[in-house]
A = this chain, B = another copy of it.
């Protein structure tokens, strides 16, 4: 069960290891006859070039770290992350890269872990999936000139390689469309305050309202985490106190919680209150009434992010860019536009 190496193949084929190496990389200056011979022997002996040795001399691993930037358990509970992984994995496989999952229980460890994977040379670059962004990590990455692409946005660092949707505009556009549909009493079930997208979406909502001389009472904005009970509580506060005719939830999960709370309180949906979510998680198709939502093309964002990173790795003159993916409002049952 010993591993067969390039030397074994070389000996068997009666050529030098360099020749075998050239055959592996399909070098043009090797005769077809030797190529054929060597290849058949490789197959015969069950030879596979050792990726580690290769990485060592090439100083490239062809693997990319995926950093989730929040406690793993919570990260993975949200279908959002499945989408990103899906997009990333697909492209990685196609381009012959491996993806290395970096996990930790808290932000500091995560940050250390991710950086370490780069420092010890286990990965060539990083895809950061950032909701609550660790700007220290980004700072370190920039200082060390490590290749990375951010999915999301950093408060502190502008014009870094990243892929995002325009949360501000998505929210702004949504509110305009709602106003045009006759909605007046707005309320917001926002996600966690620390998430960058929470602030962006909120600003979009507020600015759009202002532009139409509408205001929103801060009491009608509730921040909540992603647990059902917390979301339910927050939704209850808003709905029982203010009787709004529209509720914007910054995530479908929150939207689902709001729908149930509204129903419990006797609201008819969408007649008395319209509820709209964000993301368009696949799982919400299982939920009734089906959620009207702002679709974030998360799989596509994952694909774009890793494609950009790979391009940066393979063309050092390319420094990445900022890619903003557009969103789309999907009308279902929980809120009707007129």
- Which residues of chain A have a CB within 8 Å of any CB of chain B? 1, 3, 48-53, 55-56, 61, 63, 66, 72-73, 76-77, 79, 81-83, 85-86, 89-90, 92-93, 98-105, 109, 113, 116-117, 119-122, 144-145, 228, 253, 256-257, 260, 263, 282-283, 285-288
A99 to chain B, nearest CB (A): 5
Q: Is the beta-carbon distance between B61 and A100 smaller than 8 angstroms?
A: no
A197 to chain B, nearest CB (A): 20
Q: Is the beta-carbon distance between B86 and A73 smaller than 8 angstroms?
A: yes
Of B3, B100, B120, B287, the contact of A50 (CB 8 Å cutoff):
B120
Question: How many chain copies does the complex carry?
Answer: 2
- Docked Cα-Cα span, A61 to B122, in Å, equals 10
Of B1, B53, B55, B103, the contact of A89 (CB 8 Å cutoff):
B103
Q: Which residues of B contact A103 (CB under 8 A)?
A: 89-90, 92-93, 99
A63 (CB) vs chain B CBs: closest residue = B100
Of B52, B119, B145, the contact of A55 (CB 8 Å cutoff):
B52
Q: Which residues of B contact A256 (CB under 8 A)?
A: 286-287
Q: Is the beta-carbon distance between B119 and A48 smaller than 8 angstroms?
A: yes
A228 (CB) vs chain B CBs: closest residue = B285
A71 to chain B, nearest CB (A): 10
Q: Is the beta-carbon distance between B72 and A76 smaller than 8 angstroms?
A: no
Q: Which residues of B contact A285 (CB under 8 A)?
A: 228
Lowest 9 A-B CB distances belong to which pairs? A89-B103, A51-B120, A48-B119, A76-B82, A228-B285, A256-B286, A51-B122, A76-B86, A52-B55
